[in-house]
Structures are given as structure tokens and as C-alpha cells.
Amino acid sequence: METADVVAEELLYVEAELQDIQDQIKALLDRQEGLYKRQSELKALLEECEASKSTAQVDSSVARDDWSADFEWDSRAEDIRFNVFGISSYRANQREIINAVMSRRDILVIMAAGGGKSLCYQLPALLCDGVALVVSPLLSLIQDQVMGLTTLGIPAYMLTSTTSKEHEKFIYKSLEKGEGELKVLYVTPEKISKSKRFMSKLEKCHHGGRLSLIAIDEAHCCSQWGHDFRPDYKNLGILKIQFPNVPLIALTATATYKVQLDLMEMLHIPKCVKFVSTINRPNLFYKVHEKSSVGKVVIDEIADLIRGSYSKNESGIIYCFSRKECEQVAKELRERGIAANHYHADMDVIAREKVHLLWSKNKLQVIVGTVAFGMGINKPDVRFVIHHSLSKSMETYYQESGRAGRDGLPSECVLYYRPGDVPRQSTMVFYENAGLQNLYDIVQYCQSKRNCRRGAFFQHFGEPIQNCNGMCDNCAYEAEVKELDATYHAKVIVSLLHEIQENDQRATMLQLVERFKVKIKELGDSIQPVSDLKKEELEQLIVQLLLEHVLKEEFQHTAYTTNSYIALGSLSKLVLQGKKSVMLEVCTRRHEDGMPKGAKRSRMSGLEIKLDELRKELSSSNEGMLPHAILSTQQISILSTQKPTSITHLQKMIGKVKTEKYGKRIIELIEHHLKSEQVDDDVPGAAASGSKTEGNKKQKKKHTVLIESSEEEEQ
Ligand SMILES: Nc1ncnc2c1ncn2[C@@H]1O[C@H](COP(=O)(O)OP(=O)(O)OP(=O)(O)O)[C@@H](O)[C@H]1O
Ligand SMILES: [Mg+2]
């Protein structure tokens, strides 16, 4: 009898052991699956690297052509760059690309948003005889570009659904017979694929030797692997077949290696010269801001950030998760005195365009949009992009935040993150191919309180690390992070989930946090002393455990929605067995720590504000022309420091064309400003109350010019 008991007891023990081993096998199999997946990803990545190395070798014949050498068109190009475009020096790769186009090569340009791709085909278009054809995906982009070129006195036209009959006639005649002045012609891809009439005119233009070059902007739209595939872009391959000797330049801001290969194949440019620039945007300050779970607090903080750092004429974008949220956030910002309006796909096209135009003309400070506010944004002076909610991937975040600072001036990208937003996004993306992994990559970016944000982008896009120069919160405020040992908390969470699962129950992240708190109370003094974690920190811990495969998300569909539940992940056992420790980064950083003072663009000076008003006035009197096309923010900044008072001096700063058009008004304004400054200095009582030392004199001056002084003081 006794023996039977002993045997039964051992049997129980063996069965428990077996169960344990089964669990471990399952965990290992899960882990194995994950590793296989990663293995194949890494293999593909390696192949890409090797392939790109060998292409680089093939391309070395190309590299032998030194695109930065001297060329016969150099001085003409310099003249057009400065006198027509008003650009004082080339940015990285621009000159080389222009030289390659002028050498009649096919070219693929990958250059970050705002890098200055347009100049790479617009300048050669002016250098060459004949007409340059530009294919661009969106009407709004085309309109902006044509307006900008027209302001510079360049004969640019577009052939779209909005083109008047009269213009259409002019364009066709010009293409066919070379009559009239036409230098740059913008079309949408539909024109190429659907209009036989247009193609036949283009053929005639080519036949007459007048088709100088073909540019395909936003070329990633050709590829199904890209993020913005447009079916009509697929047919653009016809261009190289019909016009084999005309140089074709394809341009895009982001293209993975796979997309690059796809583009070269689809556009029939296998021997193109490739110019790949860095993804780095050194003028952008990246920051992740802890997001309160109270909606109003978030809006208050965003409003404070905008009011505290930006004047009303400095524009920004706020990205939200849903259409409803956009409307709500815009409304609440308006209630706090900020000129904001929403933009999403549910609005009709006219309402949407109206909001976009007001914003482009600096009459609306902030657009609160969903992802629908995307590719058509051509505004170069967006000073801040705030994400009210998490993006769905690193790539989306890079693109959306990258709409800031396209003019190269310091700008800010702030992401409001709270772990509670993770399930909101995961329930939307989990069915997409690699959707969950892409989301977890950006979540990792947000959770990290030590790693350089910029470094995360380099890693994601497979580019060597470059110095951040303190242009992210983690690099700027490195020291203020402490690490907590959360191994015990993790153990409690895992055993709690065991219990929940054994009882055939489920828990959302919020429920798990609540149950954790109860459990900790129950365990009371019997446990080793652990530091108390706040609710937000517990959520942060749960998300970290998701990223570390200790936990995983499971999704359940109801008739109306999909819910995310937290379940045990493949490495949960290791935590229970004490084989895995869990450290949690906790931040002691103050909320208001933004862009470091040195990196920040100083607030607009009095003269800058006046010049900004002038460009707005000139833009209103020139229907459809955007203020930045009249004077860029950079040009305004140069003018306000140099204060030119003669046309010759002004021309050296903004070039001939703009000087001829607006020089008189600009000089008048500067002279008037200098006079009013002089008057302020000479105000009899100004120095009366204090000593006449230089310092005091300066101080007085600031007090007298009241409206402008608050801005000027910071300079
Ligand atoms: N060399 C330069 N110096 C100063 N400003 C420049 C230079 N080249 C271009 N810019 C300005 O930079 C801004 C962005 O240029 P552009 O629109 O060509 O960028 P992009 O590379 O096409 O960006 P996106 O991918 O967002 O379309 C414009 O305002 C343009 O006038
Ligand atoms: Mg562009």
C-alpha cells in the first residue's frame, strides 16, 4: 500500500516534470520560429548588402566619371542657381546630379525630404534647350511647383484636369512646333498612360530635338514595394522606350534597396547613375514626450509647447490617430487660442484644400491631420511636427516627422507616447504583413530613454551611425535616467497571467495592471521589498516584456472591434525560473526639456516679422503664389541680419530675378525699419532715467520697441 502511494507520488512528480518540459518545448519552438523568421530577414539583408556592394563595383565605371569635376556649363549653372533660383550654394549631391543630367545620363536620386531634389532637374531644364517633362503624382504638388517656378520668371506649365483650354492649346502648339516659351512641363502619370494625343505631341517634340530631359518625381510610387504605389506610375516605363536618348532622372526621398531595383527595372534605366544621400536630417530635433492618460492634459501641454516656442507665423503639423481625434484636438487647440484646423479623408476635397491653402499661406498655424495629410505637403518652413499618438512604424514616423524643416532650419519633432496607445495601434496593424513587428520597432524607439533617436533611424535604414550633435532628447539630456530592477514585478506579472490563463480568462493591458496592484497588496509583507511602480511605469514594463518576448499580444474579434489581450510569451518561463532579469529605465527628466537652447532657432526678430508680413502681402496680391516662393525663411533670416539698403547689395543675397521683382519693396521696408530703430534710439526720454552706458542704452531700446522687443531680446 505504502509502495503504491510512493509510486503514485512519483508519477505525479514525473507528470508535472513532463508538463514542464512540454511547456519548455513549446516555448523553445515559439522562440525557434521567431529566430527562423529573423534568420531569413537577416539573410535577405545580407544579400542586399552584397548585391549593393557588387552594384557599387559595377557602378565604379560610373564613379570614374567625376561628377564634381569642372564642366563647360559650370558658370552658366552658377549664374542660374544664384540669379534665378536665389540659392547661394549647392547642397550635398546637387551639383553632381546636375552634372550627370547635363552629361545626358539616366539617374536615380535618393535624397531625404527637403534635400533639394527639385533643383536637380529644374536647373538642367533651364540650362538645356527645349522642354523638360516632369511627372509628379499629385495635382497640389504640381500646382505648388509651377507657381514657384512662375514666380522666378521661368516658363513652367502643367497639363492636368485643371488646365484651361487656352493653356492646353499653347502647350500642344509649343510641343509640336517649338513655338512660344515653354521650359518645364508638369504632368500627372495619367497623361502618359491615358492621353494618346499628349504622347503624340511629345513624340513630335522629341522628333524636333526639343525634349531636353524627363524627370519622374516621387518615383517610389512606381513600386508595389514602396509606401505609396500608384498604378499609373507603372506605365512610365514607356518613356524610356519611346525616348531612349533623353536623360531620365527618377527622384525619391526613401527607397529600400528592393524598391531601387524595382524602379530601375520598371523605368528601364539599368545603367543609371545612382546618387544615394544620407537619411539623416541634422536640423531636426527628435523627442519623445511622456503622454498623460488625461486627454486635456495632453492638449494643454501641446498648446504650451506651441505657444512657448513658436510665434504665430511659425507653422506646424499635429498627427492624430483617428479622424475624430483630429477634430477634437483642433477644436481644443482653438479654444486655447491657437489657429488650428483639422484635415482628414472624411472631408470633401474642397474643404480639405481650403485648410491646406490657408496653412500654406501662413494664415493657419497648425494642421491637425491623420496620415491622409501626406505626400502633397510642399511647405518648406514647417517648424514642428507633433505626433499626438504613436505612428505605426519607424518608416511612417520618419516620413511624417520629416515634413518638418525642409528648408534646412532647426525644427522639432515630438512624439507623445504612452504605453496605453500600443494596443490601439496593434489592433489596427496586426493583420498586415510584419505589421506587429514594425509597430514594435517604433515602440522600442519610444520606450528607450538612453539610446540616440537618430541612431534608431540609422539602424532601421541600415546606414552607418552619424553624430547626433545633441539633436535628440536622449543625447541632449543623457544623465537623467535611472535603471530599476523590475525582475520581481515581471515575475509577479508572469505568474498572474498563468493564473488568468489557467482559469480560461483573459486580460487587457489595463486589466493586468489593475490585477497586478491587487496581487501586490495580497502578497503584502511576505514579499521582498520592491520599489513601488506607478501605473504608467507598470504599463511601460508590460510593453517592455512584450518587446522582450516574455509576454505577447493576442487578438480577439468582436462584431464591432478587435481587442488586444496580454498572454504569456515564449520567454516567460525564463523569468519565472529566475534566469532572466528585467531592468526598467525610468526617467527623471522634466517634461518641458525641449530643444537645447543652442540648437534652437531664435525667435523671429522685428525685421524678420516685417519681411514675413511683406511676403504674405505680396503672395495675397499674386493669386495662388505662396509666401515661401517669394522669399524663403532662410532668405528672410539673411536679410534681417545683413539689412541691405541698396539694390546691388540685395541682389548679392537673393539673386537678380527676385531683386527685380520685389527689390524696391524690400529695400523700402528695411530702410523704414532702420529709421524707426534710429528714432527709438533718439527718443529724448529713452536714456533719461538711467546712465548712458552702452548696456543700458541697449536695454532701453528694447523697452521702447515694445511689440518687437520681446522677440529681439532672445537674439
Ligand atoms: N542648395 C540649396 N540651398 C538652400 N535651399 C535650398 C537648396 N536647394 C533646395 N533648397 C530649398 O529647400 C527646400 C526643399 O527643396 P525641395 O522641394 O526640392 O526638396 P525635395 O528634396 O524635393 O523634398 P521632398 O522629398 O519633401 O519633396 C525648398 O524650399 C528649396 O528651395
Ligand atoms: Mg520634392
What's the whole-number mean pLDDT along residues 246-275?
91
Distance 485 CA to ligand 2 centre (A): 48
Ligand 1 atom closest to Cα of residue 85: 31
What is the spatial distance between Cα 655 and Cα 84, in angstroms, rounded to a whole number? 6
* 277-293: pLDDT as tens digits: 999 999 999 999 999 99
Best substitution site from 149, 406, 632 to test ligand 1's pocket, by max atoms within 8 Å of Cβ?
406
Strand partners, 585: 483
For residue 713, the model assigns a pLDDT of: 30
Distance 54 CA to ligand 2 centre (A): 29
Q: Which residues line ligand 1 (CB under 6 A)?
A: 87, 90-91, 94, 111, 113-119, 253, 380, 406-407, 632
Lowest mean pLDDT among 169-183, 544-558, 560-574, 624-638: 624-638
Distance 314 CA to ligand 2 centre (A): 21
User: Taking 50 as the threshold, does the pLDDT of residue 701 lie above it?
Assistant: no
Distance 120 CA to ligand 1 centre (A): 10
* 149-196: pLDDT as tens digits: 998 899 999 998 889 999 999 999 999 988 889 999 999 999 998 899
* 512-542: pLDDT as tens digits: 999 998 888 887 755 555 567 888 899 999 9
Q: How confident is the model at residue 469 (pLDDT cuts 50, 70, 90)?
A: very high
- Atom 12 of ligand 1 has which residue's CA nearest to it? 407
Higher-pLDDT residue of 170, 683: 170
Distance 114 CA to ligand 2 centre (A): 7
Q: What is the DSSP string of 642-685?
A: H---SHHHHHHHH-HHHHHHHHHHHHHHHHHHHHHHHHHHH-GG
Q: Give me the residues near ligand 2 (ion), CB cutoff below 5 Å.
A: 117
Q: How confident is the model at residue 63 (pLDDT cuts 50, 70, 90)?
A: very low
- The answer to whether 152 and 85 are in contact (CB under 8 A) is yes
For residue 477, the model assigns a pLDDT of: 84
User: Taking 70 as the threshold, does the pLDDT of residue 710 lie above it?
Assistant: no
Tell me which ligand sits closest to the C-alpha of residue 109: 1
- The answer to whether 141 and 215 are in contact (CB under 8 A) is no
Higher-pLDDT residue of 711, 314: 314
Cell numbers found for residue 343: 484635415
Question: Residues near 119 by Cβ (< 8 Å), separated by ≥ 6?
Answer: 81, 85, 87, 94, 98
Distance 386 CA to ligand 1 centre (A): 22
Lowest mean pLDDT among 148-152, 170-174, 339-343, 685-689: 685-689
Q: What is the DSSP string of 309-352?
A: H--TTSEEEEE-SSHHHHHHHHHHHHHTT--EEEE-TTS-HHHH
% of the chain surpassing 90 pLDDT: 57
* 233-244: pLDDT as tens digits: 889 999 999 999
What's the whole-number mean pLDDT along residues 380-397?
94
- Atom 22 of ligand 1 has which residue's CA nearest to it? 117
CB count in 10 Å sphere of residue 387: 26
What is the spatial distance between Cα 423 and Cα 476, in angstroms, rounded to a whole number? 30
- Atom 6 of ligand 1 has which residue's CA nearest to it? 116
Cell numbers found for residue 701: 531700446
Ligand 1 atom closest to Cα of residue 119: 18
User: Taking 60 as the threshold, does the pLDDT of residue 96 lie above it?
Assistant: yes
Ligand 1 atom closest to Cα of residue 381: 29
Most confident of 212-226, 293-307, 431-445: 293-307
Tell me which ligand sits closest to the C-alpha of residue 632: 1
pLDDT, mean over the chain: 86
What is the spatial distance between Cα 117 and Cα 175, in angstroms, rounded to a whole number? 25
Strand partners, 288: 415
What is the spatial distance between Cα 457 and Cα 267, in angstroms, rounded to a whole number? 29
- Atom 4 of ligand 1 has which residue's CA nearest to it? 87
Tell me which ligand sits closest to the C-alpha of residue 122: 1
* Residue 237 dihedral angles phi and psi, to the nearest 5°: -55, -30
pTM: 0.81
User: Taking 50 as the threshold, does the pLDDT of residue 68 lie above it?
Assistant: yes
For residue 376, the model assigns a pLDDT of: 74
Question: Residues near 360 by Cβ (< 8 Å), separated by ≥ 6?
Answer: 144, 378, 379, 626
- The answer to whether 250 and 261 are in contact (CB under 8 A) is no
- Enter the ipTM: 0.99
Best substitution site from 110, 118, 221 to test ligand 1's pocket, by max atoms within 8 Å of Cβ?
118
Distance 465 CA to ligand 1 centre (A): 24
Largest CA distance in the chain: 116
User: Taking 70 as the threshold, does the pLDDT of residue 714 lie above it?
Assistant: no
- Atom 16 of ligand 1 has which residue's CA nearest to it? 116
Distance 378 CA to ligand 2 centre (A): 7
Q: Which long-range contacts (CB under 8 A, 24 or more apart) does 148-152 make?
A: 148/626, 148/629, 149/122, 149/184, 150/625, 151/622, 151/625, 151/629, 151/630, 151/661, 152/84, 152/85, 152/86, 152/629, 152/657, 152/658
Ligand 1 atom closest to Cα of residue 253: 25
Tell me which ligand sits closest to the C-alpha of residue 254: 1
- Atom 15 of ligand 1 has which residue's CA nearest to it? 116
For residue 229, the model assigns a pLDDT of: 76
Ligand 1 atom closest to Cα of residue 402: 26
User: Could you tell me the sign of the dihedral formed by the alpha carbons of 575, 580, 581, 584, in that order?
Assistant: negative
Ligand 1 atom closest to Cα of residue 380: 29
Distance 365 CA to ligand 1 centre (A): 21
Ligand 1 atom closest to Cα of residue 90: 1
C-alpha distances in Å from residue 208, one per residue of 129, 174, 211: 12, 11, 8
Cell numbers found for residue 154: 521661368
User: Taking 60 as the threshold, does the pLDDT of residue 494 lie above it?
Assistant: yes
For residue 521, the model assigns a pLDDT of: 81
Tell me which ligand sits closest to the C-alpha of residue 283: 1
* 26-61: pLDDT as tens digits: 777 777 776 776 776 676 677 666 665 554 443 433
What's the whole-number mean pLDDT along residues 458-484?
87
Higher-pLDDT residue of 587, 293: 293
* 535-558: pLDDT as tens digits: 889 999 999 999 999 999 999 988
What's the whole-number mean pLDDT along residues 482-508?
93
Best substitution site from 119, 186, 317 to test ligand 1's pocket, by max atoms within 8 Å of Cβ?
119
- Atom 25 of ligand 1 has which residue's CA nearest to it? 113
What is the spatial distance between Cα 326 and Cα 345, in angstroms, rounded to a whole number? 11
DSSP code at position 221: G
Best substitution site from 78, 81, 87 to test ligand 1's pocket, by max atoms within 8 Å of Cβ?
87
For residue 239, the model assigns a pLDDT of: 96
Distance 182 CA to ligand 2 centre (A): 21
Distance 609 CA to ligand 1 centre (A): 23
User: Taking 90 as the threshold, does the pLDDT of residue 686 lie above it?
Assistant: no
What's the whole-number mean pLDDT along residues 464-478?
90
Question: Residues near 51 by Cβ (< 8 Å), separated by ≥ 6?
Answer: 257
Ligand 1 atom closest to Cα of residue 94: 1
Distance 386 CA to ligand 2 centre (A): 22
What is the spatial distance between Cα 457 and Cα 394, in angstroms, rounded to a whole number? 7
What's the whole-number mean pLDDT along residues 458-477?
90
